[in-house]
Structure 1
Amino acid sequence: MDDQRNLSVYYDGVLQTAALHLIDKHQAVEVQYPGPDKEGISKSFQIRCQDQDAIFEIILAIPYNFPDVFPTVFVPDPYFSRLYPIPHLDKRKVLCTFDAEVAHPNISNPHGILDEVIQKAFILLKKGKSGENSLDYLDEFESYWIQEANSEILSLLSISPETREIHLISFTHPNWSVTKLVADTRMEGETWLVQAGATVDPTRKKAFYLPLESIGLPPFPTKNGEFLKRLKTVSGDAVKPLLEFLNKDTRPSTIVFSMPYKDGHIIGAWEHANAQQYKTSHYKRKGKVQKGLKGFRRWKRNALLELQRDFRDLGVKKQLVTRVDKMRLFTRGGDGEISSSQRIGIIGCGSIGSHITKSLVDFGIDQLLLIDKEKLTFGNVARHLCGANDVGNYKVRSVHQKLASHFPHLEVTTYEYDVLRLLRDYESVLNRCDFSIVALGHFPTELRLNRLQKDGIINKPLLYVWVEPYLAGAHAVYVDPSYIGCLHCVFDEQHAFLKSVLAEPGLYSKREAGCQSTFVPYGIVEVKRFILDLTFFIEDIQYGKMKENVLFTWLGNLTLQKEKGRKIAGRWAVAENYSVRRFPLANFARCEECNSNVI
């Protein structure tokens, strides 16, 4: 058993000693495992757990990779039938003893793992029978609801305390089994689906959102009458709006509900089926299909009589609701913080601009303006966000499609134009953004944008971004027209940058055969490292922390540059690798115009 280099030998050795321990200490009897996932089980043992107050039997299933994972606890009949439903016991008769996401077995003590699992199982069964841990149902509400659900719905809904009609959209997707989505507006839902690669069914159908105080404890209702009775008991205020919706909606009717839980909400859905059922006469034993309410014309509706009297025994379908809204995804998949709803422009969607855009979206920005006139070429692929399958497409379209397929909630406007041509025709286009990032790498255009800021044509902040060869350094100049300093302030009269990292950066530009084929060499790994640090600077801009115009300078691997024989400017001779500096533009020898504006 000590030989852990051979997993087969190790696991077999642990299994043998585990079997002996269970037989000796717990009087276990080896049996065939009757539960799910049999292929992962090596041996299983029936064990009786008892004290003076209770007796239970469990089947402890030892997985092939024990002790690296916990054993499975199966509750056989007749004990399961007497106990279910209780917290932590599912319909498959499996009892959840330890959450593998937060608890980890002590692999150096396999026998202790077995004892702990058996003891925990007995405690959970005993508490479940007495009702002592009934509040645990809320912790596992979704798993219990899922066990009884026979379909799934995606949701973009905003959770709120108001009842309202919502849109139920049918669709197909090549990779998904789910075919329904609910959204507050049809446009929002259809946009999300199309960007995710789905085909939308044009049929229009409404559903109903119903915030509940509670839906009670399992077992959950299964029929019309049971649902109505449960709602009257635990969420009485919801009954009237539910009936009002059902009175005007054609069946089947989908009800999406939420209820508060801890700091958030639990969400689920159910469906009321078409009001028809087969009825058998008690006298002549003849049957017929009842399609309407007694005493009413067939097209008339009275939801109260439908649920409470004529169709009270009609089954209600439970549905799993999977939230795909931005709030849910970024709370679960991030740190719980959602970026503010700002609109950011990206001018230039090349290697730098495309990765900045991806970083912004990862950060939670979902409203973007993308401007770039170029199409993607094979020469771009090595360090661009998009790949060879996008070659020949406009960069802005490829970036949009790639990001929207990952984050379908994005709202993106694209322009396949030179930014100056766009501003000539629509001079206010950048003023519709909270600020814009300029990643063109074309100094004359950047100077022209700087001029437009000075002239008041562009009245929103711009962040000019560029990199030096081999990513020895990278820079960003934040210019808000209301503060002192501009892009021109950090360049001398010969347009040489005043804080360059390389002593002569122009020496390291590369040129391929052909006119206008000069490029700046750098690798994508260093780009991503720079943009990660730049994102925190952008975060300060976004949250209004920038109270002056600033030069942001990022220093790359200076040691490597020196080893490669590239001369570092004296000002950075002793600087640390991968460090960041911020310089107020007011401290520079300002350009003539900025100086003249200082009182």
Structure 2
Amino acid sequence: MHKQVYEFLLKNGIDCNYDAEKDEINIYITLEDFKYELYMKFPLYYPYEFPELYINNTNGLMIPHMYTGNRLCLYDTNEVLPNPQNFLQDALDSVIRAKSLLTDSKNKENMIDYQLETVSFWEAKVFGRVDYLGGKNLTTHLLWRYEWLEGYNIVADEKEKITEFINNSYGVNPKKMFYKRALFINIGKNILVNLKNIKDIQELIPESDLSQFYGFLIKNSGKGLIILYADNGVGKCIFSLEISLSSYGVKLSRRSIKGVLVANKRRTFKRFKTRNFQMQRLFTRGGDGNVCFDKRCLLIGCGSIGSYVSKAIIDIGITDNITLLDNDFLETENLARHLCGSDHLCLLTSKAEALKLELLKHYPAMQCNSINENAWEYFLNRCTELNSFDLILVCVGNTVIEKKVIQLLKDNQIEKECIILWVEPYLVAGHALVFQGEIGETTEKNIFDVNGMFNNNVLVDSRKYLKSEAGCQSAYAPYSGFEVQKFVLDFLDIYYRKIYTKKEKHNYEFTWIGKMKWARQQKFKIKSKWRSKEDRFMELRRIDN
């Protein structure tokens, strides 16, 4: 097959020869009297993958689309796929693309491509790796740096975030951690072509940030890790590098630093591959980038419903800062319908702490705190602290607590938006109350019946469908993990599209119908309003008008 490719290229006027020993095709492309030598290699799964072309000597060409090892990048395989039935034409097209790439590079007609490929170029020759756990501060500022292994650095705004990351991601808790400082510099929109030495880096730094740059180098004896935050014209990107100045016997100071930098202007630096864990980056590259993260949330109740709510409000882009409150412990009985797994059962762990660790495994740079306390402590004695949050979500499945929350809202002791979620046995139905405005007489009439109980339940006396095991305090509402996830995701989808993004503030009731058909077959007592509804029916209605 490979020799067949060679013969086809030769037939189509390509200057080439076949190296049978290496099973490669040597290809020669002449531009302005200089002959560039390339060779074509065939990947393991050829022709289901494109052939690979490498250039032996770039002869000073600045080629924007090139991998490590001088392999030319000729296709974006997310957009173009090989055609195994027409593999000969694929090979010829690859050579034609390579010639076009070299011609454009020779004539410097693809400099804009070089700018766009800056990250790929940077990472082609790296010394090590940096895991960046920075927050939302994009101004030039100091960071903490921990070199865990040689060439592997973890960088964050706070030391605790680094420790947290190592513990959650690798299951290791280092006893002695020696931290250094790193410097984050926002260089804005800049030309990022051909960065080779310290002078090139210094010229990228805004005039207003040079003083901080000088001070950082002075304090760290001319050495240090720099994180550059840049706009390459297409998007935001991060570059990590380590500078090491030679002082030439001169003591570094505010008076001498500029001269020392001039003396080191041709000195090279160490490049690092950066893994950017910033929330905005994760949701731009791993999503559609349409996230706000503008709410500081408090989640009260970290059981089944609460665990899935916590993940969903992050995934949908509402928050990257959440505090979890629950004094219950995670048990084996929780696993089938909880976000957390058995890895949190080695030691007795509160649901709040287990959920925090689980969320941080997904999103190491987010802000997440856990409070292992009884919710009544806050409702009765520390209510004002609740108002430090933008959004409070209550997922406790306890009517007494839920009614207390509503009373606190009515009395204006809780002044922030509040959502209460609960489900009925077997998840015949799920419910949510959203309070954004004042709780007046109309809202109360829509929520409570004449006996002061919630009037929007679907089952008649849902308590009779609870289950119990041996021992006291063993009653529980049976429902599956799949059903509760479906309820949570459906509600938050409706909430995000029809409530969260609206400027008007109102109070709402949401009802979700789950296993209604099954409940009818089991002869459950169902309120007439809901008896004919089909599974997955949803209703959102205003309750303040």
Q: How does 1:350-429 map to 2 (within 5 A)?
A: 350-364=303-317, 365-391=319-345, 392-429=348-385
Q: Secondary structure at the match of 2:403?
A: helix
Inter-CA distance 243–543: structure 2 relative to 1 (3 Å threshold): same
Q: Secondary structure at the match of 2:334?
A: helix
**2:24–2:42 contact (8 Å) kept in structure 1:** yes
Aligned to 1:221: 196
Deviations 1:139-167 (A, max 9, x none): 111111122331333334568886x4412
Work out whether 1:580 is the aligned partner of 2:534. no
Q: Distance in 2 between matches of 1:414 and 1:161?
A: 27
Match 1:64 to one of 27, 36, 44: 44
State the match for 1:89 in structure 2. Answer: 66
Q: Shift of the alpha carbon at 1:71? A: 1.3
CA deviation vs aligned residue, 1:74-117 (integer Å, no higher than 9, x gap):
123xxx24254322134512111001122222344322322221
How far, CA to CA, are the matches of 1:447 and 1:168 in structure 2?
Answer: 45
Residue 211 of structure 2 corresponds to residue 257 of structure 1: no
Instruction: Look up the SS of the partner of 1:519 in the other structure.
Output: coil
Distance change >3 Å, CA 161–CA 458, structure 1 → 2: closer
C-alpha distance in structure 1 between counterparts of 2:532 and 2:244, whole Å: 75
Q: Distance in 2 between matches of 1:229 and 1:468?
A: 64
Alignment match, 2:507: 549
Contact 1:502 1:566 in 2 (8 A): yes
Q: Shift of the alpha carbon at 1:529?
A: 0.9
What do you get for the CA RMSD once the two structures are aligned? 3.5
Could you say which residue in structure 1 is the equivalent of 2:447? 490
Q: Residue type matched to 1:180 in 2?
A: N
Corresponding letter in the other structure for 1:370: L
Mapped to 1, the partners of 2:376 and 2:200 lie a distance apart of 66
What is the CA–CA distance in structure 2 between the aligned matches of 1:159 and 1:494, rounded to whole Å? 49
CA displacement 1:41-89 (0-9 Å, x = unmatched): xx4322344689875443222223223221111123xxx2425432213
Q: Which amino acid aligns with 2:240?
A: A
Cα distance change on mapping 1:568 and 1:69 into 2, 3 Å: farther
Shift of 1:524: 0.6
> Aligned residue for 2:145?
169
The superposition leaves residues 442-472 of structure 1 with CA deviations (integer Å, 9 ceiling, x where unpaired) of 2122223223333333333332211122222
Confirm or deny that 1:445 pairs with 2:433: no
Structure 1, 409-418 or 561-570: larger mean CA deviation: 561-570
Q: Which residues of 2 match residues 119-518 of structure 1 at below 5 A?
A: 119-157=96-134, 164-172=140-148, 179-184=152-157, 199=174, 201-207=177-183, 209=185, 211=187, 214=190, 217-218=193-194, 220-222=195-197, 227-228=198-199, 237=207, 241=211, 242-243=213-214, 245-275=216-246, 291-293=248-250, 302-309=256-263, 311=264, 314-364=267-317, 365-391=319-345, 392-480=348-436, 482-484=438-440, 485-486=442-443, 489-493=446-450, 497-502=454-459, 505-518=462-475
Is contact 2:306–2:395 with CA below 8 Å preserved after alignment? yes
Superposed displacement of residue 413, structure 1:
3.6
SS at match of 1:409: coil
- The equivalent residue for 1:29 is 17
- Separation in 2, partners of 1:443, 1:240: 59
Asked whether the 8 Å contact 2:218–2:253 carries over to 1, the reply is: no
Task: Check conservation: 2:187, 2:206, Cα contact below 8 A.
Answer: no
* Displacement of 1:438: 1.6
SS of residue paired to 2:540: strand
**1:154–1:178 contact (8 Å) kept in structure 2:** no
Distance 1:51 1:195, change over 3 A: closer
Give 1:136 shift.
Answer: 1.1
Instruction: List alignment gaps of at least 5 residues for structure 1.
Output: 1-13, 35-42, 277-290, 588-599
Distance 1:413 1:221 in 2: 42
Q: Distance in 1 between matches of 2:73 and 2:407?
A: 66
| Structure 2: gaps spanning 5 or more residues | none
- In the alignment, residue 111 of structure 2 is paired with which amino acid? S
Quick check: 2:427–2:483 contact (8 Å CA) kept in 1?
yes
Q: 1 CA distance for matches of 2:489 and 2:478? A: 19
Compared CA separation, residues 359 and 495, structure 1 to 2 (3 A):
same
Give the distance between the partners of 2:455 and 2:109, measured in 1 at CA: 72
- Specify whether residues 29 and 468 from structure 1 end up closer, same or farther in structure 2 by C-alpha distance, changes over 3 A only: same
Assess if the C-alpha contact under 8 Å between 1:511 and 1:517 holds in 2.
Answer: yes
Contact kept, 8 Å, 1:461 with 1:479, in 2: the verdict is yes
Q: What is the TM-score normalised by the length of structure 1?
A: 0.78
* Contact kept? 1:369, 1:414, Cα under 8 Å: yes
Contact 1:160–1:211 (Cα < 8 Å) also in 2: no
3-state SS in 2 of match to 1:74: strand
Determine which structure has more spread, i.e. the larger CA radius of gyration.
1
Letter in 2 for 1:417: E
Pick aligned residue for 1:525 from 468, 482, 488? 482
* Paired residues of 1:59 and 1:75 also in contact (CA < 8 A): yes
Q: Which secondary structure does the structure 1 equivalent of 2:383 belong to?
A: coil
1:247 and 1:302 in contact (8 A); partners too: no
CA distance in 2, matches of 1:389, 1:159: 31
- 1:310-333 deviation per Cα after TM superposition (whole angstroms, max 9, x unaligned): x55544323333322222222222
| Cα distance in structure 2, aligned partners of 1:212 and 1:463 | 40
Query: Following TM superposition, by how much is the alpha carbon of 1:363 offset from its aligned partner in structure 2, in angstroms?
Result: 2.8
Q: Partner amino acid for 2:246?
A: A
Aligned mates of 1:385, 1:236 — CA distance in 2: 45
In structure 1, what is the Cα distance between the partners aligned to 2:328 and 2:402? Answer: 17
Q: Is the 8 A contact 1:459 1:481 kept in 2?
A: no
Question: Identity of counterpart residues, as a percentage?
Answer: 25
Shift of 1:188: 6.1
Q: SS at 1:127's partner residue? A: helix
Q: Aligned partners of 1:211 and 1:327: how far apart in 2?
A: 18
Distance 1:548 1:30, change over 3 A: same
Query: Is 1:44 matched with 2:24?
Result: yes
Looking at structure 2, the residues matched to 212 and 537 of structure 1 have their Cα atoms a distance apart, in angstroms, of 37
Q: Secondary structure at the match of 2:294?
A: coil
